[in-house]
Structure 1
Amino acid sequence: MLRSLLVFGVICASSVPRALAATAWRFSGPATSPTEQTGNYTGFSNNTLQDTHVVKGKAFNRFIQIWLENTDFEDAGSTPAWENLAKRGLLLSSYHSLTHPSEPSYIASVGGDFWGLHNDDYYHIPENVSTVIDLLEEKNISWATYQENMPTDAFYGYSHSSTNYLNSSAVDYPFYMRKHNPLEIYDSVSQNPARQGRIRNFNDFANDVVNGSLSQWIFVTPNMVNDAHDTTTDFCADFLEYWLYPLLDDDRFNSDGTIIVLTFDENETYAKQNRVYTLVLGKGLPRHLVGKTDDTFYTHYSLLSTVEANWGLKNLGRNDVNKTMSNVFDFVAKKSGYKNVHVPEEKRPQLNVTGVFAGPLNPQMYLPFYAPEDLQIKGAGGQGVYVADSLDTSAKYSTLGDAQNLTTTPYPWIVEEES
């Protein structure tokens, strides 16, 4: 099996109340603008990144993904804010999430697998499991993630409650949830001192924009009300008008060669196929595609394969090389020479099933973490698999044997609450 090189600590996970009702919320910007720091978050930023070196890509030079929550494709598509944004970008009309609920899709989008996970509990993933960060750093491509209302860089807690800036008479609210911060869940990132400072909050974001030093690969998670999780699609639209609209006109964020992917983690109706509304925006989008629709079958794994193709990166040897699931964004595939696979609707996998996959994050059907099955396979970047020095390459899925039920025994990858 893969060897865990880290003994996890015991962290307090506070209980998390749900929103009282969607109608109780009225949007208010936490700051005067997205480039201003604010006391409505916890603490001001006292440092900036220095990411001014640019590694040129084949189709874009900066890749920003912004994740929103739990909305059916039809609901987002009928909202004026999204209709207006669609006129400025490319609609990916057949883009899909991977499963339910949130956390599995988040960790899969940066690691190429959701490892059998089917809940939003407090997990960690051992440090010899690679992620997109390993691929980027090998090519000296800068990266950062920005998490709204996260109190400190690389905060390890399950959630964080802070002053309710929407209602001064209300109690503190859990605006931040770790389940939406995938790089914090991978120990190879969150437990690496050289990487921890790149898991940042929105005050850091404002500081980095003003400093003109945003990274080339960026993952953005708004807080639990602004991403529509605890509110409505209309509330989220108000957030986008406050936060994203001005940034689209700011060259420090949306410079030439910038691609911005606005997507949802999953749909709201579990009985439906898991199609989510996804737009590609930014000055790096070819002009002839603005206002158009691309009906190619994509999933969250396409976020990995598209980045790999653009910068000629190695791959993770997981679902980022599953050709059915990881088509490269078409305009990037054409620039990089990658050939996508046509997947007709009747042959697309069901992506709304939950709890049926064995894996290391499924205590009911537990398997140890496993190495890529084929270490020689080439991905969208034309390169082979990235292999961490500490990886036991003999432990492959096909050699692990039957899954076990660990629900009555100590489970290795859960972070336990303090009593």
Structure 2
Amino acid sequence: MSFASLLPAAVLFALSFRLAGAISAQTFAPPSKGPLVQTANYTSFSNNTLHNKHVVKGKVFDRIIQVWFENTDFATAISTPAFEQLTKQGLLLTNYNAVTHPSQPNYVSAIGGDFFGLQDDAMFHIPSNISTVVDLLEEKHISWATYQENMPENGYYGISYKAANYGNSSAKPYSYYVRKHNPLMVYDAVSQDPARLRNIRTFNDFANDVVNGTLPQWVFVTPNMVNDGHDTTIDYAASFLEYWLVPLLTDKRVNGDRTLILVTFDENETWEIQNNVFALALGGAVAKHLHGTTDDTLYTHYSSLSTVQANWCLGSLGRQDTNATVSNVFSFVAQKTGYKNVHVPANQAPQFNLSDVAPGPLNSDAYIPFAAPNLKARGAGGGPVFLRPGLNKTLTVEKLPPPVDLYSLKKAVPWQMSPRTTSGKNIIPCADSDCK
């Protein structure tokens, strides 16, 4: 029986309506001859490789690779043949949720344990005294990198980049790359550190690193704006999945016996319903008896942080990654690490489909300063909260001043670098035609 046959009739009707109304002038075009073949379609070829041959053993996995797609309801993804077929090789996390809308705050949350009130896709930077997963990894000497398709060069800082349209040579250059899907670049602790900046890499670098046997232990992958389904359809994203990921599943240089691969989406498309997204745990680290099964534990993007922390006995960020209700560790990892997940009844689950409601240092409607993390918190890894230099430890959540509506005062938050771009209310049009 297919997963689609289990969906409510109303959901199937909505799905069929969406697919019937989807408009895309593009037909999937492979950017290269294969996922490990460098190509001029990615603007620049790789001229360096990482040097990550030391392996820090984890309790369940020695490498985690996260691959994020875009803006798709769970019902849509699970009824798409390529994604449904892939579930036979892994554990489907049926109650995995994005944490808010729109795209960028979800990416930010998976790196820093919070979206800090962010409510749009404009260009922001987060100050260097705010900790990230990179701090936790480096403290235990665990290698890491992100690979961004069509980013023109390592550590590119721009808001977007137009490249030759490899799918249609007669068309104008296309903005395949956008910074809002490259969350490590948003954090100054990474983007302003030259040593770390070289780990913000391109897909040609990915090919080079795999061939040289230097693929890191923590990997975050973002396909470009057509391949992730953002500017196209779920069927287009499925074609990319079959072109890029499926061949890598049988390549031991990528997917070894102790590799965990998480395939998921940043957020759903229908903001009026719970923000449930497709998430599948794949790879050699997922026991075969779990293949083709489901797990209905409540997970969120914060769970990717807590799962990594539990696996390598790391410290925490002292933010939502330590909020047990929303940061359950993937069950097969929790069982082997001794972490006890929180059971959240369906009628008590937090609502993750909200937007424009969370005060924070990146919210111009309800601005508050960056608060210190909860230094007394204990995450799934058991280690202490990591605190970067320069953060005021005394400015806790309890001591924050009331939120200020900077937007009504025609002011931006201190960390905003371009006008607001979300599709919500009170928008200032972006001055740069590349802003989307």
Q: What interval of TM-score do these two structures reach, taking the shorter chain for normalisation?
A: over 0.9
Give the aligned partner of residue 222 of structure 1: 223
Alignment of 1:77-156 (within 5 A): 77-156=78-157
Q: Distance in 1 between matches of 2:348 and 2:45?
A: 50
Partner letter of residue 90 of structure 1?
A: L
Give the aligned partner of residue 329 of structure 1: 330
Contact 1:274–1:351 (CA<8 Å) still a contact in 2? yes
Contact 1:26–1:235 (CA<8 Å) still a contact in 2? yes
Q: Distance in 2 between matches of 1:327 and 1:400?
A: 28
Partner letter of residue 325 of structure 1?
A: V
**Structure 1 outlier segments of 4+, above 2 Å:** 416-419
Give the aligned partner of residue 6 of structure 2: none
Q: Distance in 2 between matches of 1:337 and 1:73?
A: 30
Contact 1:100–1:354 (CA<8 Å) still a contact in 2? yes
Alignment of 1:3-42 (within 5 A): 22-42=23-43
Q: Distance in 2 between matches of 1:284 and 1:277?
A: 19
Give the aligned partner of residue 405 of structure 1: 405
Contact 1:297–1:343 (CA<8 Å) still a contact in 2? yes
Question: Could you tell me the percent identity over the aligned residues?
Answer: 58
Secondary structure of the structure 1 residue equivalent to 2:161: strand
Partner letter of residue 187 of structure 1?
A: D
Quote how far apart the aligned CAs of 1:154 are: 0.8
Q: Distance in 2 between matches of 1:361 and 1:313?
A: 27
Give the aligned partner of residue 387 of structure 1: 387
Alignment of 1:155-194 (within 5 A): 155-194=156-195
Q: Distance in 1 between matches of 2:268 and 2:418?
A: 29
Quote how far apart the aligned CAs of 1:401 are: 1.6
Secondary structure of the structure 2 residue equivalent to 1:293: strand
Contact 2:127–2:189 (CA<8 Å) still a contact in 1? yes
Partner letter of residue 227 of structure 1?
A: D
Contact 2:362–2:413 (CA<8 Å) still a contact in 1? no
- CA-based RMSD of the aligned residues comes to 1.1
Alignment of 1:252-271 (within 5 A): 252-271=253-272
Q: Distance in 2 between matches of 1:377 and 1:147?
A: 33
Give the aligned partner of residue 345 of structure 1: 346
Secondary structure of the structure 2 residue equivalent to 1:280: strand
Secondary structure of the structure 2 residue equivalent to 1:55: coil
Contact 2:363–2:413 (CA<8 Å) still a contact in 1? no
Contact 2:367–2:413 (CA<8 Å) still a contact in 1? no
Query: How many residues were matched structurally?
Result: 398
Quote how far apart the aligned CAs of 1:23 are: 2.8
Contact 1:164–1:172 (CA<8 Å) still a contact in 2? yes
Q: Deviations over 1:381-410 (max 9, x none)?
A: 011211112221011121012011222235
Give the aligned partner of residue 363 of structure 1: 364
Quote how far apart the aligned CAs of 1:286 are: 1.3
Give the aligned partner of residue 59 of structure 1: 60
Secondary structure of the structure 2 residue equivalent to 1:105: helix
Contact 1:76–1:82 (CA<8 Å) still a contact in 2? yes
| Structure 2 length-normalised TM | 0.90
Q: Distance in 1 between matches of 2:354 and 2:94?
A: 21
| Structure 1 length-normalised TM | 0.94
Contact 1:30–1:40 (CA<8 Å) still a contact in 2? yes
Q: Distance in 1 between matches of 2:411 and 2:69?
A: 35
Q: Distance in 1 between matches of 2:210 and 2:23?
A: 32
Bigger RCO of structures 1 and 2 (CA < 8 A, at least 6 apart): 1
Quote how far apart the aligned CAs of 1:96 are: 0.4
Give the aligned partner of residue 422 of structure 2: none
Give the aligned partner of residue 70 of structure 2: 69
Give the aligned partner of residue 293 of structure 2: 292
Give the aligned partner of residue 238 of structure 2: 237
Q: Distance in 2 between matches of 1:291 and 1:352?
A: 28
Contact 1:105–1:265 (CA<8 Å) still a contact in 2? yes
Secondary structure of the structure 1 residue equivalent to 2:24: helix
Q: Distance in 1 between matches of 2:397 and 2:23?
A: 43
Secondary structure of the structure 1 residue equivalent to 2:29: coil
Secondary structure of the structure 2 residue equivalent to 1:259: strand
